[in-house]
Structure 1
Amino acid sequence: MTNQSLHHRTLKCQVIELMLATIDNPSNAVEWVMREMMSKPTILKRAVEELDKVVGCNRLVEESDLPQLNYIKACIKESFRLHPFAPFNVPHCSEKDTVVAGYFIPKGSHFDPDRHLGENEKQVVLTDNELRMLSFSTRKRGCPGVILGSTITTMLLARMIQGFSWEKPNEELGKLVENHDDLQLAKPLVAIAKPRLPQYLYPKC
């Protein structure tokens, strides 16, 4: 029987990679979904309403609340579908108003979280075992930090939406353009955040 133990250098490299991914990937994912939601105020408003209904305005969202935040997770999942971590996806966006199979598709429409809220789906999860989209992969090649990554991403977005009202710094947010090197936003998202909860919920500096 061969020795299956990991060398300390291998273990150290894996821990460092997991730590870096824990910081970079959730923050990049949330920046994308915030950019998408701010360009569609009705979607952002619906996410805020879900948080107010599930959590309220007298305490901060906690990890135990996440199973009930299906619309928040649907927004993240839709962002994963459109903006994967690797360049495997062809952009899908209508260039003009059109009708396909009897359905009207307005110009520029592509961000639709409701596609992940099926009638029989009780819980929205950020993974896709059938690989219709790439998020955390699946099976033996799946991300070992899938639960941690899903939790951090959902908690980060939920806290940002719950804690602040978000506004554009001007009328235009600019085009959604990916960076050619790492698929992040080509230009960082700039937004105005205003507290929307009681003052005692914010930490004192």
Structure 2
Amino acid sequence: MTSIKPARFINKSEITAIADRLLVEMRDANWTPKWPQLADLAADFLDLSIDYEDFDVGEDGIIAAKIYPTKKEIYFNNAFPAIRDNYGFYQSTLAHEIGHWLLHIDLNLPETVNDDLISTALPGEVFLCRSLDENKNKVVNQRTPEDWREWQAQYFASCLLMPLDKLEEVRRGRNLTNRQHLGAIGDELGVTISNLINRLQDLEYLEKGGNSKQLYPGKRLRLSE
């Protein structure tokens, strides 16, 4: 028995639809989405428990998180202190793991199994997340099934934490090319400024000039002015 779905290409539209559907399901259940704690609320809604532990590098290599599907548990690696120390990074990381849960885990498995089976689980019964790179948003950079899964989970996190309607709401009266304004938006949404800029670029609100850090209005922003 394996809890991991076979790797497959999932495009942006499908990932966006899955993230949007989760938000709709939360609203329908009177589990009102709220920012900046949205990822925590989503994890509670899905009945996922969150904890931290020290991982065995020799056994597993350097990994960021583990998901135990049959126990609905997510463990973050204590070796990544930014998960605890940076709230925006924590929210993005948790949303990333929720992405793995919804995109890559077979949710039709039995809800519980014997604890001894979990402790001696086969690789297919524990999902290992090896990347928390918020910049892993370029489709062309994905080469392996693992790369694809990490890109998909990170794209899901951006869609969940920064849905289009919410971005439209929080950008009113703000200049998206102003990093101070972006910082305020990031705090309001519970995301890092890096993740926010990546999302705004993907949605064509912003463009970057070459290797410069200078931000310019993107196609969507120009059309709205």
The answer to whether TM tops 0.5 is no
Give the TM-score normalised by the residue count of structure 2: 0.30
Larger radius of gyration: 1
